[in-house]
Structure 1
Amino acid sequence: MPINQPSGQIKLTNVSLVRLKKGKRRFEVACYQNKVQDYRKGIEKDLDEVLQIHQVFLNVSKGFVAPKDELIKAFGTSENDVIIKEILDRGEIQLSEKERQLMITKINNEMLTIISAKCINPKSKKRYPPTMIHKALTELKFSVVLNRPAKTQALEAIKILVSSQIIPITRAKMRVKIELPTADHDDAVDDSVVAQVKRLLTTSVHNESSTTIWSCTALIDPVSYRELVALCDKRGTLQVLDMAVIDEAK
């Protein structure tokens, strides 16, 4: 049924739509710009701050509210908040061209910042500014896409940059502290585990040993991190001290 809008009523402005198809019907909610992403990240939990109108529509632009029987048929309930939350969680965000460009710019800036923080020039041991990284990625015809996290796209871009070497670039090393129980400890690890750990260390900064604990603060390549986690899991500890060491001399 259409909403009876009185003459002179203020229309929805800066509206973002979230649509979800259930069965043969499409349902929509009208939201404020940027609030849907905040809701999905758990930053915003108040539906009234997310929604422009606390209502489920068949068509927002035409003002057609979803009938109760249609909601029950599609969602198994007519409880407004339950249905709205499902649409917000699972629906597709509809953006205007202006909103799309703003979102792409935001994701791109986040991605470039992440790459700049995680990578260095292997000769100078310095970070590249985001502008230089952007220029290199443009030459490689790499561009960001919507609906994918900036971090995921940054890691993909790093692989392309490192493999292409369009500019001299490598991942900055991580500084970690590792502790493993040794031979005289009740929960001792096999000597081969310590050997495997040592093999993954690129530079040993500081070592401490006792009768029960082998401890080391060292630099590692980020690609080795998951393997180290598996080796230390349930038998020792792995602590990240620095996500990106810029100057190894320090």
Structure 2
Amino acid sequence: MPVGIKTPSNQIKLTNLALVRMKKGKKRFEVACYKNKIQDWKNKIETDIDNVIQLEGVFINVNKGEKASKADLEKAWPGMKNKEIVEDILEHGEYQVGEKERSAELERIKNEVINIVASKLVEPKSKRVYTTGLIEKSLDQLSQQTSVQQQGDKANGASAEDGDDKEKALPKWRGVVATKDAKSQANHAIKCLMAHQPIPVTRIQMRLRIVCPTAVTKQAVKSTGKPAEKGKKGKAAADEEQQALKSVKDTILSYIEKVETDETEGAEWEAVGLVEPGSYKSLNEFIETHTKGRGRVEVLDQSVGVDV
């Protein structure tokens, strides 16, 4: 080795390294992780912390091998064990990801969003499910429309405020992002597709069987109808009074989008029909409350649709 050149003995050289950093007070703490594992940990795919951490312990500077002192850790995380501190840093700390990893993560979330959306929507008339490719194409179309509209609003300046209020009230799809979970983005994507209808879509429905004693079905109850009907405005007071009381049977039928069978046999009434998933909980609660446990709801098919 040439004279005058020294290699620090405490310098750590690691490969496939991702540093997760967290600032507490005036100090910054670091944890050394495997680059290909930290995202799996964040997404709850990897649950064994030993597969995520490259070096045990918490550092002030990983590259220089400077570990955080017990006093510093106790001050920043009073009463917490070392493993709990590492988990806290992994959960809430910041880390830098390479372009390749960032693109792979975005693609993973995008595929998950599209799969969720495709599993919850069908063509209204045929009840056929759409392919993931067609769902992706429709969302891309909505994203482009949003981008064009934003550019137009900027170009028009203040005059954009005079646009159609109804159009502005519709949800906007701007594409998948890596900073939000797939489920919440999928729910927003469904709202956008339902609102804009780039392709004809409706939510996939559940097929239910409802059984109630006939004596109960004839009882009058105050009904607010399906959740979607709550808060409707513009009805005349007389109409509201007339519809304030309904029979148990009529109220149950108001939850059903399509009644397939409606039969009374002996002392029991039975109906089979299609119900929006969002109405299932309210319907079940209504039947439990007003039949005092004598009525029941059976799920015959969790998702009604025909595979293409």
Using structure 2 for the length normalisation, give the TM-score: 0.64
Whether 1:108 aligns to 2:163 is no
The unaligned stretches of length 5 or more in structure 2 are 1-7, 144-173, 222-245
Letter in 2 for 1:145: V
1:68-90 CA distances to partner (integer Å, 9 max, x unpaired)? Answer: 21111100146211211222333
Counterparts of 1:1-250 in structure 2 under 5 Å? 4-5=10-11, 11-13=14-16, 15-33=17-35, 35-36=37-38, 38-39=40-41, 44-77=46-79, 79-141=81-143, 142-178=174-210, 192-206=247-261, 216-232=271-287, 235=293, 238-247=297-306
Aligned-residue RMSD, C-alpha: 3.4
Larger radius of gyration: 2
Q: Aligned residues, how many?
A: 239
CA contact (8 A) 1:183 1:189 kept: no
1:46-73 CA distances to partner (integer Å, 9 max, x unpaired)? Answer: 3212212222123435543222211111
- Displacement of 1:198: 2.0
SS at match of 2:31: strand
The unaligned stretches of length 5 or more in structure 1 are none
CA contact (8 A) 1:29 1:51 kept: yes
CA distance in 2 between counterparts of 1:174 and 1:205 reads 12
CA contact (8 A) 2:10 2:64 kept: no
Letter in 1 for 2:128: K
CA contact (8 A) 2:123 2:129 kept: yes
- Displacement of 1:232: 4.6
- Displacement of 1:180: 5.5
CA distance in 1 between counterparts of 2:275 and 2:287 reads 14
Cα 1:54/1:132, change in 2 over 3 Å: same
Quick one: percent identity of the two aligned structures? 41
| Higher alpha-carbon deviation: 55-64 or 31-40 | 31-40
CA distance in 2 between counterparts of 1:102 and 1:83 reads 28
Letter in 2 for 1:242: D
1:161-210 CA distances to partner (integer Å, 9 max, x unpaired)? Answer: 111111122212122344557758xxx99685554332111123456767
Using structure 1 for the length normalisation, give the TM-score: 0.77
- Displacement of 1:222: 2.7
